[in-house]
Structure 1
């Protein structure tokens, strides 16, 4: 059983290990974090920023833990817009060694429940580059539908990629 919880100060050591151990893997698939993130105090600053965003209702960063309590991934609701939209953008990352175990699918399911339940959001958006079959499958299996494609809109390691844009609406909306 996968559990999600908002990132907190008690997660510092696990989060540092997770980010450093998976840095090369993540950077081969998504834009690199700034070098300052990995410098002394960088992850602490990121945790503090995440806590401020949650308190301000502008973003929510959750950590995924497996049954044994090991940190296996992160899932975020960012750019929360309330007035007129009641929406946000979804993003997630799974540790290199934990891919293919169903964690992303389960985490997206759980975060949709939180977003449409306690957070009272009405619409979530997500993006995946066109060659990321795993993420596309996770999104579609959780009720997201593609509403657009932007061509040559994302540069990764010197290569321009197309991005697919997805949305999911609260039940009954």
Structure 2
């Protein structure tokens, strides 16, 4: 795998991000709920980037673009940051259709966990995956996440209910 970096989105990323989201829209919407149609415009993506920056400044959430040798190949985020007392967040990620199966998600998860535990001083990261999403389950388990639950019929997509597996990962700095 070429050099992989996670970087916070900036307004300079607008064209790359819009092209990435448009190219992968159908691929993503096959397994997660759709973004509003207004998102798929320069104004919509710019607004999302500004919101991501505001969320990071307020310690509510952290979004990152996944770039491989400069090319935008995915996104990863920490959302629903809870402070104080819990110091936890929820992990989410998506890799473009052309780039799956190459270890990109695992590498990005490793990088975001390091940032979460060292820089952001989070102590627990949670994640969810549908049981049939074997790739995501493998990424989480290979990244040190442990499964702690299974909720039945807890996620609706295209009128159908799906189960979710619940995972957690704790900071090694707390040992």
Under a length normalisation based on structure 2, what TM-score does the superposition of the two structures give? 0.96
SS at match of 1:111: helix
Aligned to 1:147: 148
Aligned to 1:56: 58
Once the two structures are superposed, what CA deviation does each residue of 1:109-155 show, in whole Å capped at 9, x if it has no partner?
00000000000000000000111000000000000011111101111
SS at match of 2:119: coil
CA distance in 2, matches of 1:7, 1:75: 11
Aligned to 2:40: 38
Alpha-carbon offset, residue 40 of structure 1: 4.9
CA distance in 1, matches of 2:43, 2:7: 22
SS at match of 1:41: helix
Under a length normalisation based on structure 1, what TM-score does the superposition of the two structures give? 0.97
Count the aligned residue pairs: 172
Quick check: 1:26 aligned with 2:28?
yes
Aligned to 1:80: 81
CA distance in 1, matches of 2:166, 2:38: 29
CA distance in 1, matches of 2:77, 2:12: 18
Aligned to 1:71: 72
* Deviation >2 Å, runs of 4+: none
CA distance in 2, matches of 1:113, 1:84: 20
Unaligned 5+ runs, structure 1: none
Unaligned 5+ runs, structure 2: none
* Contact 2:5 2:66 (C-alpha < 8 Å) held by counterparts: yes
Aligned to 1:130: 131
Alpha-carbon offset, residue 64 of structure 1: 0.5
Picking from 12, 37, 40, the partner of 2:14 is: 12
Please give the root-mean-square deviation of Cα atoms over the aligned residues, in Å. 0.9
